[in-house]
Homo-oligomer: A and B are copies of this chain.
Amino acid sequence: MSNPAAERARRKAAAEHALRSRGLPLTVQRRRLLERFLGAKDHPTAEMIYRDVAPLIPGLSHATVYRTLETLVDLGLARRLPHPGGDVRYDPRLERHHHLLCEACGAVRDYASSRLDALPFPDVSAAFETLDYTVLFRGRCAACRTPRSRRG
């Protein structure tokens, strides 16, 4: 059930259906971007996606990548990831899950825990309508703890 290729194909089909059902054209740009983004575990910025997709589409514009990612957020196919940095990161995973954030390099890794998935919602119902939550652990990843190849 967690076959990565099958999972990616399923997500892509779902995304293409969501676009079509709203009358939004499936362009080459969107197809390539979906292939890069859906199933990604690197919580990419728009720029990271642009770098990876641009070689496949001559003349690709930054604006297209930014606009497409926001479209995916609007359609509920992606989410902006909470991150301490000054750029926007996107997460294709919609199910509840958690994150390990390296304070040295900014990398984000997913962390699964059924116990953390079962926390109570906040008891402030009138003041705030809670939709979901994520637990964010901050610390240092293995690469940044290693003296060699330190990054700052």
Hey, which bits of chain A sit against chain B, CB under 8 A?
A: 79-88, 98, 100-103, 109, 111, 113, 115-116, 119-122, 124, 126-142, 145
B137 close to A122 (CB less than 8 A) = yes
Q: Across the interface, which residues of B come within 8 angstroms of A83, CB to CB? A: 82-84
Copies in the complex: 2
Beyond A82-B101, A83-B83, A130-B138: 6 further Cβ-contacts under 8 Å?
A80-B84, A82-B84, A100-B122, A115-B120, A131-B138, A135-B136
Given the interface pairs A82-B101, A111-B122, the reply to whether A127 lies near B139 with Cβ below 8 Å is: no
* Bound Cα distance A44, B103 (Å): 20
Q: Are A122 and B113 in contact (CB under 8 A)?
A: yes
- Complex CA distance for A102 and B131, rounded to whole angstroms: 10
A100 proximity list for chain B (CB < 8 A): 122, 124, 128, 130
The reply to whether B129 and A145 contact each other, CB–CB distance below 8 Å, is yes
